[in-house]
């Protein structure tokens, strides 16, 4: 009888251990999947066409020295991202991702690109003009903007556009390699009604997972095409 009880006890213990191992495996798997998710993404599912409405306007100056309001883009489909002129990551993203968007959609009058400086007190109009010229950015469909006030720019991008919080780097070596700000490199798509319909961290996906990058890029392009067709 004791032998039978021991055998039964071993089976029960084995079953409990197996359940614990399976639960841990699923927890780790879900954590890895969650880490791969973009910051805000609408992959084109019809049930979620709008993430949020932009409830505040922003006044700024573009690379041509023109005073503009973002609300003037109502009626267009536009892509918006943060940048600052000496950020090496922005230079790569803007030269690849944004140039690619202009090449793909720039001939359509309803499309626009907007890059908002998070270091606006350094990025004056002359610096924006030089930066835009290097990328052959035409102000008719591609703005580089400065608000002239750092707090205004950060509050708008973090609060209204829901980008990640901008963080000031303190390590001199880190600053030398990456620039003084750590910031969100994602690109948000805004529809004709001034609503954000998706946001894609393509720069991060490009570094981490080429297959994921291609998937996210395709989702973004499909979203833009869908919105332009409306």
DSSP the chain: -HHHHHHHHHHHHHHHHHHHHHHHHHHHHHHHHHHHS-SS---S-GGG--SEE-----EEE-TTS-EEEGGGGTTSEEEEEEE-TT-HHHHHHIIIIIHHHHHHHTTSTTEEEEEEES-TTTS-HHHHHHHHHHTT--TTTEEEEB-S-HHHHHHIIIIIS-PPPPEE---HHHHHHH-SEE----EEEE-TTSEEEEEE-HHHHHHH-HHHHHHHHHHHHHHHHHHHT-
Q: Are residues 83 and 112 in the same domain?
A: yes
Distance of CA 99 to the CA centre of its chain: 16
Q: 25 in a domain, yes or no?
A: yes
pLDDT in tens, 160-207: 999 999 999 999 998 888 889 999 999 999 999 999 999 999 988 888
The structural domain count of the chain equals 2
Q: Are residues 20 and 118 in the same domain?
A: no
pLDDT of residue 16: 53
Q: Are residues 82 and 192 in the same domain?
A: yes
What average pLDDT does range 43-70 have in this prediction? 86
Q: Are residues 131 and 215 in the same domain?
A: yes
Q: 129 in a domain, yes or no?
A: yes
Q: 41 in a domain, yes or no?
A: no
Q: 114 in a domain, yes or no?
A: yes
Q: Are residues 145 and 201 in the same domain?
A: yes
Q: Are residues 25 and 131 in the same domain?
A: no
Hunting for tokens 């291609």 — which residue is that? 214
pLDDT grade for 33, boundaries at 50, 70 and 90:
very low
CA-nearest of 52, 41, 54 to 200 is 41
pLDDT of residue 3: 52
pLDDT of residue 179: 87
Q: Are residues 3 and 109 in the same domain?
A: no
Please check whether residue 149 is in contact with residue 123, taking contact to mean a CB–CB distance below 8 angstroms.
no
Residue 139 neighbours by CB distance under 10 Å:
16
The domain spanning residue 117 has which CATH number? 3.40.30.10
Domain span at 23: 1-36
Q: Please state the φ and ψ torsions of residue 91, each to the nearest 5 degrees.
A: -60, -40
Q: 193 in a domain, yes or no?
A: yes
Q: Are residues 26 and 58 in the same domain?
A: no
Q: 122 in a domain, yes or no?
A: yes
Predicted structure pTM score: 0.79
What average pLDDT does range 74-101 have in this prediction? 93
Q: Are residues 23 and 87 in the same domain?
A: no
pLDDT of residue 130: 96
Q: Are residues 126 and 219 in the same domain?
A: yes
Q: Are residues 88 and 162 in the same domain?
A: yes
Q: Are residues 105 and 156 in the same domain?
A: yes
pLDDT in tens, 101-156: 999 999 999 999 999 999 999 999 999 999 999 999 999 999 999 999 999 999 99
Give first-to-last CA distance, the chain, whole Å: 77
pLDDT of residue 36: 36
């Amino acid at each position: 009888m004791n032998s039978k009880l021991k055998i039964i006890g071993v089976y029960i213990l084995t079953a409990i251990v197996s359940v614990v191992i399976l639960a841990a495996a699923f927890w780790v798997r879900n954590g890895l999947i969650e880490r791969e998710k973009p910051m805000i993404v609408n992959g084109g599912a019809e049930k979620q066409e709008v993430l949020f409405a932009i409830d505040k306007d922003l006044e700024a100056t573009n690379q041509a020295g023109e005073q503009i309001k973002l609300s003037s883009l109502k009626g267009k489909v536009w892509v918006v991202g943060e940048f600052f002129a000496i950020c090496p990551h922005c230079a790569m993203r803007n030269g690849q991702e944004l140039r690619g968007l202009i090449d793909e959609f720039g001939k359509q009058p309803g499309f626009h690109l907007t890059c908002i400086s998070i270091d606006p007190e350094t990025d004056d109009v002359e610096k924006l003009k030089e930066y835009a010229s290097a990328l052959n950015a035409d102000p008719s469909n591609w703005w580089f903007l400065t608000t002239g006030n750092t707090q205004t720019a950060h509050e708008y991008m973090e609060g209204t556009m829901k980008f990640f919080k901008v963080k000031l780097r303190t390590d001199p070596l880190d600053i030398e390699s990456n620039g003084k700000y750590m910031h969100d490199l994602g690109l948000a798509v805004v529809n004709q009604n001034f609503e954000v319909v998706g946001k894609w961290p393509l720069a991060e996906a490009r570094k981490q997972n080429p297959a994921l990058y291609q998937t996210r890029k395709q989702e973004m392009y499909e979203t833009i095409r869908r919105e332009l067709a409306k």
